[in-house]
Amino acid sequence: MSIQKSEKIFIAGRRGMVGSAFAHTLEGRGFANLTKRNRSELDLSDSTAGANFFGKEKAEIVILAAAKVVGSKGELSWDKTKPDGTPGKLLNLSKLRALGWALTVLLHDGIARTYDWFLRNIAK
């Protein structure tokens, strides 16, 4: 895949570690058509807001930085009628382990691999 510098690019998760690395690399290589929205400007968990945004902005390339790192392939949904709890959460892995899942790549290594892939395949 080759990205043209004229294409409109949106990076979801741009303010995170991986997304900011993508944005920094693209901007450093002369990609000036990055569409930037922070979470307060665009709540991607709100499907109507997402549809309105993509309908208006017409991004040609969408990089899902945060979702790719954690392997998410599902739809993000949120029941706004329920309390959202505290900012920090602990993840209980007992159900995943019972299904046979085991950690094979540390987060830091996964981010490094993702960034290396990006450099080899996108930021040429």
**In a 3-state reduction of DSSP, which class is residue 63?**
strand
Among 61, 62, 71, which residue's Cα sits nearest to residue 113? 71
pLDDT tens by residue, 6-50: 888 888 877 777 778 888 888 888 888 888 887 778 877 777 888
pTM greater than 0.75: no
pLDDT in tens, 42-78: 877 777 888 888 888 888 888 877 554 445 554 545 5
Query: Which pLDDT value is given to residue 105?
Result: 81
> Which residues are bridge partners to 63 per DSSP?
11
* Amino acid at site 62: V
Q: Residue 56 and residue 22: Cα distance in Å, rounded?
A: 23
Q: CA 14, CA 37: separation in Å to the nearest integer?
A: 8
Name the nearest CA neighbour of 120 among 67, 112, 73: 112
pLDDT band with cut points at 50, 70 and 90 for residue 79 = low
